[in-house]
Chains A and B, each alone.
Chain A
C-alpha cells in the first residue's frame, strides 16, 4: 500500500462514524416527528432543548430558526449533537421508540448546527453592556457555556484556558469518529464572537493568582474538569500509556501516534472504549480490554459496548492486571489475576476479589490505561470545600467561597459525567451569576 493510499484508508476509518443527513433525509425525518406537547425528549435532554420546535423548523425550512432554538438552550449544540449518548437521553425518551424507531434527534440537531456553522451567520445579538466582569477558568464545555451565556447578557467575560486551544475534552478528548476537532474549535470561535475574551496558555495557580482574580472580577466560574488518569499501583506502570493522552495524540498529532500490534486497554468506561476504537481503526491486529468486574458493572453506555464488540475488540472480564512484563525495555505482556465478585464496595458495585494462583500473562506490546480521572486539583489549590473529592456547590452552583461558582465534571460527585451535563451546569451557573450581578443592592437598615 502506498503512503497516499494508507493515508486515505486511515482518513476513511477515522471519518465521523455517522454521515451528515442529506436535506432530503432530514426533511423526511423531521416530518416523521409527531410534535409532542411538553415532549419527553425535551424533558430528557439535560439542557431541555425544545426539540419538537427545532425539528418542526427543519420541516418548515426555517433552518436559522431551528439553529437558534437549539442554541438558546445549549450553546454547544454542535458538539452535543455528536457526542451526546442520545439513546440514554432524548432519543431514549421518544414516544415513537416503543413501536417504531425513535426520531434521529441527534442527527437532526447536527443538520441544523451544520447549517448554522456553514452559513457563518451569528444567531444572537449582544445585549447592552452591564459593566460587570466575570472570569471563567477552563474553556471546556462548562466554561464555554457559562461564558457564552454571560456574554449574551452583556457582561464582560474573560475565559482563561491552560491549554493551547479552547474546547476542553471536545477538542482534546473526544475521538474524531464522534467529533472532528474543527467542530469543537468552530464552537469556541462562536463563543468568542459573542464577546468573550479567550486567553489560552494561562493556568490558575501558575500564571494567574486566585486572590488577584477575585479582586479584579465581580464573579468567578470554575470549569476546570478533572485531572489525569489515576495510578494503578502496579510494577511497570510507567510503561503504560495514558488513555486521554492517547486520544489527544490521535486528534492533534496523528502521524506520530504509535499504535501497537497487540494492544491492551485497562478499563471499561467510555474513554477505554474510545482508546480501543482508535487502536483498532489505526491498525492494531488485536485489541483486548481488561476489566476486573463484569459487563454488568461496566460504566460504558450499552450502545458503546455494542459498537466496540462490532469493531472486533475482545473483552476479558473479571481480570485484574498485576504487573507489566517488560523485556529489553519493551512491553511484552501484562500479568493478570482472575477476580470474583463479592460484597459491595464504596461505589455501590460488587467488589472484585482476586483469586490466588490464577495468574496469566497476556502478550501485548502496548498498554493503555483508561480507568477514570483524578479528582479536581483546583479544589485543593484554592482551599474550596469538597464533597467526595469534587468541588462542593450549592443549588446556585456557588462554592464555599462567595462569588466563586463552579460546574462541569469538577462538581459531578454522582451520575454520569457528560458534555451536555457540563453545558447545562455552565448555563444554570451563568443564570445564578447574572442574578447575583444584577440584583438590587441590599440597603442596610431596611428589611
Chain B
C-alpha cells in the first residue's frame, strides 16, 4: 500500500489532503470532525483584522443537472474573535499532534501588526503560517489579500517582515487575479518563504437575476464580484501550478507547493501532484459534500499509486512537469485523426454537427447502402421507431480530410466511442522554433508559407 504521508517544508502530515483556509476550517469543532474523518491537515480560516460579514454571501454556478460546478463568495476572513480562534487552534493541535495545523493570517500592512500575529500564532503550537495574499473581495479594498498578492514588491516586503520573526514555516498563498503568477512567486522566494500555495479564488460575478435584474446573489439589492472556486477552476489552477513548476527561479528554490483550486476527486489530486504539488488543499468539494469525501481521496489515490507502482508521494510529485511545453516546441508533424467505433456509436450525431458547423466538415453520414446522405434525408411520411432507428445513417470520419482537432472526441457522450488515433508522421519532425531558426521567412511571409506547405505536402482545406 502506498505511503501517502508528506513532509511540506518540515510540516508533517499523514496524507497530502488539507482543508483549505475557508469556511470548512472555521472552528475547532469543524477541524476536529475533519480530522476524525481522516484529513491530513487543515489551514485554519484566515484570522487577523476585525470584520463583519453579510448574508447571501455564497453564489454558485450550476450547469445542467450538475449543481455547484463552482462557488462564488464574498465571505471575509474569520469573523470570530481572535482570542477564540487562537484558543481553539491550540486545543486542536494538542488533540491531534500528528496532523498539520497551519494558520492563515491577514492583517494590516505594518511590520508591527504582522509581528504581533505571527507570535500569537506560534504560541498556539501550530505547525505553520499561511500568508493570505489572495482574498479578492472586501479585504483587498482595505489594502490586504489580493491587493498584496497583485504587487510583487508588497508581497516580498510583507513576507520579509514575517520571516524576520517567524520560527515556524511560512507559506505564501498566491492570487490568480494577476497577469503572470510567476512574479509574486519569485518575490516570495526572494523573501525566503518556506513554501507556496495556490490558487486563491478568482474574481467573478456569478450572474444576474432575470426577474429583479439584481446581481446574484442579491445582498439587500446589491452585489459585486466575489471569489470563484470549485471544479470549474481546476484547469486554471493546474496551469498556474505548472507555470511555477517550470519557472527556473521557483523550481531552483525547491520550495514545496500546496496546490488547490477545484480538487474534488482523487483523480484531480493525482493531477495536481503530477504537476508539482506536495500537499493539496480542498474547500468547495467539502462545502458541497462534507468532510467524508477525504476517504475516497485517500483510498483512490492510494489504489492508483499501487496500480502504477508508486510507493510514496515524492515519487509522483512533478512527474508530468517535463511534459509541459510551449507551443513553439510542439512537433508540427505529429498527426492524429478521429475514428468513430460504429459498435459503440448511438448515432446522436453530436460529432457530426460539431464537425460540420465548427470544425472541418469531415464527418459524413453513411446510409446502409454505403452512400453519403444529408441530415433529415427521410421522407416526411416516414414515422415510427423502426425506420428512425434502423434507417439512421452512421457518422464516419473522412480520414483524409480530418485534421485531428479533437472536437468530435470531446462532444461524444459515449465513453471510448471516438478515439484519437496517432498516425505515423509523413514528414520529418519539426517545431515552430526550429522552423523560425532554419527558415525564418516561412514564419513571416504567407507566400513563403505557401511554398513550404507545397514542398512538404501540407494541405489545409
Is the C-beta of B441 less than 8 angstroms from some C-beta in chain A?
no
- Kindly list chain A residues whose C-beta atoms are within 8 Å of the C-beta of B392: 40, 43
Q: Which residues of B are found within 8 Å of A98, using beta-carbon distances?
A: 346
Binds A, one of B254-262, B265-273, B377-385: B377-385
What residues on A are CB-neighbors of B65 within 8 Å? Answer: 28, 31-32
Partner of A37, one of B346, B348, B385, B413: B348
Query: In the complex the two chains form, what is the Cα distance from A306 to B378 in whole Å?
Result: 32
* B388 contacts A37, C-beta separation under 8 Å: no
Alpha-carbon distance A99/B346, docked complex (angstroms): 9
Name the residue of chain B whose CB is nearest to the CB of A32.
Answer: B65
Q: Does the CB pair A43–B350 fall under 8 Å?
A: no
Once the chains are docked, how many angstroms separate the CA of A424 from the CA of B382?
A: 11
Q: Which of A1-48 contact B (CB under 8 A)?
A: 28, 31-32, 34-41, 43-46, 48
CB pair B383 A37 closer than 8 Å: no
B341-358 interface (Cβ within 8 A of A): 346-350, 352-353
> In this assembly, does B64 line the interface, its C-beta being within 8 Å of a C-beta of chain A?
yes
Interface residues of B: mostly helix, strand, loop or mixed? loop
Q: Which residue of B lies closest to A95 (CB)?
A: B346
A389 at the interface (CB under 8 A from B): no
Interface size class of B (residues with CB under 8 A): 20 to 34
A74 to B: closest C-beta gap in Å: 12
Bound: A35/B383 CA distance, A:
20
Asked whether, in the complex, the Cβ of A34 is within 8 Å of the Cβ of B64, the reply is: no
Q: In the complex the two chains form, what is the Cα distance from A92 to B392 in whole Å?
A: 14
Given contacts A59-B64, A89-B384, A93-B389, contact A43 B346 (CB under 8 A): no
A63 at interface, CB cutoff 8 A: no
Asked if A198 is an interface residue, CB under 8 A from chain B, the answer is no
CB distance from B349 to the nearest CB of A (A): 4
Q: Evaluate whether A95 and B348 lie within 8 angstroms (CB atoms) in the complex, with A38-B375, A43-B378 already known.
A: yes
Q: Which residues of B contact A48 (CB under 8 A)?
A: 380
Looking at B376, B384, B389, the one whose CB has the most chain A CB atoms below 10 A away is: B384
Report the count of interface residues on A (CB-CB < 8 A).
29
**Interface check A421, CB cutoff 8 A:** yes
At the interface, yes or no: A96 with Cβ under 8 Å from chain B? yes
Minimum CB–CB distance for A164 against chain B, Å: 32
Tell me the complex Cα distance, A34–B375, Å. Answer: 17
A37 to B365: give the CA distance in the assembly, Å. 12
Q: Say yes or no: A421-B383 contact (C-beta < 8 A), given A31-B64, A37-B353.
A: yes
Q: Does A122 contact B (CB under 8 A)?
A: no
Residues of chain B within 8 A of A421, CB atoms compared: 383
Determine whether the beta carbon of A93 is less than 8 Å from that of B383.
no
Which among B353, B380, B388, B413 is the interface contact of A93 at CB below 8 angstroms?
B388
Residue from the list B350, B352, B388 in contact with A40, Cβ < 8 A:
B388
B369 at the interface (CB under 8 A from A): no
A93 to B383, CA, bound (A): 10
Could you tell me which A residues sit within 8 Å of B by CB distance? Answer: 28, 31-32, 34-41, 43-46, 48, 59, 88-90, 92-93, 95-96, 98-99, 421, 424, 428
Instruction: Name 20 A/B residue pairs within 8 A (Cβ), A-sorted.
Output: A28-B65, A31-B65, A34-B350, A36-B347, A36-B348, A37-B349, A38-B349, A38-B352, A38-B376, A39-B349, A43-B382, A44-B385, A44-B389, A88-B385, A89-B383, A93-B388, A95-B348, A421-B383, A424-B383, A428-B380
The 9 closest A-B pairs by CB, nearest first: A92-B385, A44-B388, A46-B383, A38-B375, A37-B353, A43-B388, A37-B349, A93-B388, A95-B346
Beyond A43-B392, A93-B388, 7 extra complex contacts between A and B, CB < 8 Å: A36-B349, A43-B382, A44-B383, A46-B383, A89-B385, A96-B346, A428-B380
